[in-house]
Amino acid sequence: MSKAPVPRPGILDIAAYVSGANQIGATVTLKQLSSNEGALGPSPAAMAALTAMAGELHRYPDGGSTALRQALAKKHGLDAARIVCGAGSDELIALLLKSYAGPGDEVLYSQHGFLMYPIGAKAVGATPVAAPETALRTDVDAMLAAVTPRTRVVFLANPNNPTGSYISAAEVARLHAGLPSDVLLIIDAAYAEYAEGRNDYTAGIDLVEKFANVVMLRTFSKIFALAALRLGWAYCSAPVADVLNRVRGPFNVSLAAQVAGVAAVEDSDFLARSRAHNEAWLPWMTEKLTALGLSVAPSAGNFILVRFPDTPGKTAADAWAYLSERGVLIRKMHSYGLAHSLRISIGPEEELQECLRLITEFLAA
Ligand code: PMP
């Protein structure tokens, strides 16, 4: 084979994102508590809508995702013209970075923030900068102290994956107030629906309505349980929406994602059941693991970060191997610099029971 062309500087510094899950066929046998997917399977209404559109697969979708944006606008009381849909929030993260950061620029995020922030920053030649956390929580003072004249984009995942922590509405406002107005603040609210019951929580809509430099990102991959379809959306000011609409592909959201997305948004019963499942099983799993002597970080998402002992034979890596050999896949945290911990998604009851049974057995062995 001849030599391949060399990519732009920095591209080969990227360690590829490895989810370690969901190969076709494997999904049937494995209990997958590794990717924070919806615990109840997809909404029946979304599945019906998907089946009903199969005869239209030869058509291009609506490039503007109009019906979906209207459904989202109605549900949240937003301006549909300032919603932009994407192939997962991952695509929107990449498009925002492509539009607002480049070589010489810095992209700021909190230590243990979602991996796609540094990956996306490097992909556009920008420099990712991680501000230190305090007790596994975004530290607004540390974030503001890390801002330099080169900072172009700031990411805040609220709640954050993989720590599960969130910062209060007042803290989010303080972070925004401390940033120069030409810096874009991206509030990634992928897990908002799990945190919304808390009265000091905001997904950021209030800030987007007031400030042109704030973007809120949401996804259909978590509580709406449509991860396979790749669907996310941004709510932002008109100028930022205009930029995203210029750089995105003309048909970036599939017809399947659009029709299932509309049905899922309108299925409030499914949303309520999913939230109730999480509200019951997240504290249950937290308590059971704590009772086993493990340390579990408080979580406002649909997953928990569990710290394992450093004792040889009982480490997180040992536990991960023990569970995966027995058909339960949870998430290793090496790439987040949290190798002593594992992240467990709050999946279906029987998978959680099996996961707990195996961890109990592992610790006792
Ligand atoms: N943001 C955060 C904080 C996430 O945890 C995830 C999913 N792991 C995403 C964004 C990406 O979600 P999507 O499936 O919409 O691309």
- Which domain CATH number covers 353? 3.90.1150.10
Among residues 351, 357, 359, the alpha carbon closest in space to that of 309 is found at 359
Same domain, 97 and 179: yes
Tell me which of 247, 282, 310 is where a domain ends: 247
Establish if 350 belongs to a structural domain.
yes
Q: Last residue of some domain: 247, 278, 305?
A: 247
| Whether residues 211 and 306 fall in one domain | no
Atom 2 in ligand 1: residue holding the nearest Cα: 190
User: Is 260 within the bounds of a domain?
Assistant: no
Do 24 and 102 have their domain in common?
no
Q: Whose CA is nearest to atom 12 of ligand 1?
A: 89
Question: 72 in a domain, yes or no?
Answer: no
Ligand 1: centre distance to CA 350 (Å): 25
Do residues 243 and 274 both lie within one domain? no
Pocket of ligand 1 (CB under 6 A): 36, 88-90, 114, 157, 161, 188, 190, 219, 221, 227, 232
Is residue 218 classed exposed, middle or buried when 0-12, 13-18 and 19+ CB atoms within 10 A define those classes?
A: buried
Cα–ligand 1 centroid distance for 159 (angstroms):
11
Q: Are residues 287 and 148 in the same domain?
A: no
The pLDDT value recorded for residue 23 is 58
Per-residue tokens: 63: 């490039």
Is the same domain home to 87 and 236? yes
- Written as tens digits, the pLDDT of the chain (365 aa) is 999 889 888 889 998 887 765 555 555 557 899 999 999 999 999 999 999 999 999 999 999 999 999 999 999 999 999 999 999 999 999 999 999 999 999 999 999 999 999 999 999 999 999 999 999 999 999 999 999 999 999 999 999 999 999 999 999 999 999 999 999 999 999 999 999 989 999 999 999 999 999 999 999 999 999 999 999 999 999 999 999 999 999 999 999 999 999 999 999 999 999 999 999 999 999 999 999 999 999 999 999 999 999 999 999 999 999 999 999 999 999 999 999 999 999 999 999 999 999 999 999 98
Query: Alpha helix (H) ranges present in 101-186?
Result: 116-123, 140-145, 169-177
Domain range for 32: 11-41+269-364
**CATH number of the domain that residue 107 is part of:** 3.40.640.10
Report strand pairing: 83-86 vs 232-235: antiparallel
Q: Do 32 and 169 belong together in one domain?
A: no
Please, where are the H alpha helices in the chain?
26-29, 44-52, 66-76, 88-100, 116-123, 140-145, 169-177, 192-195, 205-210, 238-247, 255-266, 268-291, 316-325, 349-364
- b/e per residue, 11-45, with b = 16+ CB within 10 A? eeeeeeeeeebeeeeeeeebbbbbbbbbbbebbeb
Does 90 share its domain with 215?
A: yes
Report the separation in Å between the CA atom of 2 and the middle of ligand 1, taken as the mean of its atom positions: 37
- pLDDT at residue 24 in the model: 53
Residue nearest to atom 5 of ligand 1 (CA): 161
Angle between helices 255-266 and 44-52 (to 10 degrees): 150
| Inside any domain, residue 100 | yes
* 160 part of a folded domain: yes
Let me know whether 205 and 353 are in one domain.
Answer: no
Residues 232 and 297 in one domain: no
pLDDT at 29: 56
User: Which H or E run includes 157?
Assistant: strand 151-157
Answer whether residue 154 is part of any domain: yes
pLDDT at 210: 98
- Strands 83-86 and 341-345 turn out to be unpaired
Residue 321 falls within a domain, yes or no? yes
Ligand 1 centroid–CA 101 distance in Å is 20
Q: What is the ipTM of this complex?
A: 0.99
Same structural domain, 160 and 223: yes
Digit-coded pLDDT (tens) for 8-33: 888 899 988 877 655 555 555 578 99
Residue among 221, 252, 302 to mutate when testing ligand 1 (max atoms within 8 A of CB): 221
End of a domain among 247, 281, 306? Answer: 247
Q: Residue 365 Cα, ligand 1 centroid: separation in angstroms?
A: 36
Question: Considering the chain, what is the average pLDDT of its residues?
Answer: 95
Regarding whether 319 and 222 lie in a shared domain, the answer is no
For the chain, what is the domain count? 2
Res 54: pLDDT: 94
Tell me, yes or no, whether 62 lies in a domain: no
**SS3 assignment, position 263:** helix
